[in-house]
Amino acid sequence: MIAAATTAAMICSCNDKSTKNISGIDASKFETTYTDALRGEKAVHLYTLRNANGMEVCITNFGGRIVSLMVPDREGKMRDVVLGFDNAQDFFPENHSSDFGAIIGRYANRLNQGRIVVDGDTIQLPQNNGPHCLHGGTTGWQYQVYDAEQKGDNQLRLTQVSPDGDNNFPGTMNVSVVYTLTDDNAIEINYEATTDRRTVINMTNHAYFNLNADGSTTILNHLLTIDADSYTPVDSTFITTGEIATVEGTPMDFRKAKEVGKDIDNYDFQQLKNGNGYDHNWVLNTRGDASRPCARLVSPLTGIALEVYTTEPGMQVYTGNFLDGTVIGKQGIAYPQRSAICLETQKYPDSPNKQWDESNAYLNPGETYRSYCKFKFSVEK
């Protein structure tokens, strides 16, 4: 049973205005409030998780965003491997419309024409990405303030109540997201949600990874492996066509480790032209088995490696194609095109409008939506 969202019960030591984290993030720059039409004014904070190895993750309850993520490189130096901002205000939508590090909901990825059908009724959602609804609409959960409770040094629980009609999605939903930093240098994310009306739900985390630990560089040198024999093609508006296509003999084949940049500009392959690079969902061979890694990413520069585990059937890979150097992030760095890669475990895009039995995105009263993702870090010498 998911408890209703509670007020913040514990603020960790990183909220001491006199301290900074090992990433250099100043917690006092996250001490503010944010007001939205549905939830009113709520307090924003920064929370820090640490493990026995000195790994550190800073998370803000504004959108449940991972702000910084410090992991050791091959020399043992702690390095920040995610893009983002060093203050709360830059995450606010009136300043930047970004998904950096955020919890995405109600529905991650795109819904065709912003429409879903629930109990025979066609519901029109916001069309905030061309003709489609992207990442829950104009004010999706990445722009909401969660209530937060930190449990010890290594766990943060975020909760909220999403009212019926939130971005026109049906049903009042009680939502819980638990971040746990383990002593084997993994971040576990457990999502849960319940509803009082039939609705759709598809949550993910939208961390922008750069394992070079330098947001001024691209991730084209990263070696990527995806345990997937097929993917879901998209049209020129980025919406899935309904087809499940083989990766065999195409630039979409990452079954063996391959540089992200090797084929990314091969626009003779229509899917890369449609996606402006990689912005596609892979159909995972792991099929919900979270004991097996579904993907692996390595920076040859730092030796930092990342493995992804999930209970979800799909993973969207987005290679920062629409970053263009105009966004100034942490440490005053301008983020160029393809300076990050996102590995978003989720249902297939537009599942409510497609005939994919393995990717059912509907949730009924009395049921509990559950999803699990783990980002595990290690070092290649």
Catalytic residues, which ones?
206, 344
Q: What is the residue whose two structure tokens read 């966004």?
A: 327
Structure tokens at 57: 């993750």
Burial 257-269 (b: 16+ CB within 10 A, else e): ebebbebbeeeee
Residue 68: alpha-carbon gap to chain centroid: 14
Q: Which residues contact 210 (CB under 8 A, 6 or more apart)?
A: 81, 82, 83, 217, 219, 339, 340, 341
Q: Is the peptide bond before 106 cis (omega within 30 degrees of 0)?
A: yes
Q: What is the rounded distance in angstroms from the CA atom of residue 99 to the CA atom of residue 346? A: 15
Cα gap 85→355, rounded to integer Å: 39
d(CA 288, CA 310): 6
Sequence-separated contacts (24+) of 81-84 with Cβ below 8 Å: 81/209, 81/210, 81/211, 81/213, 81/304, 81/306, 81/377, 82/207, 82/208, 82/209, 82/210, 82/340, 83/208, 83/210, 83/215, 83/329, 83/330, 83/335, 83/339, 83/340, 84/208, 84/329, 84/330
- Distance CA(174)–CA(91), nearest Å, equals 24
Q: Are 68 and 23 in contact (CB under 8 A)?
A: yes
CA dist., res. 212 & res. 2, Å (int): 38
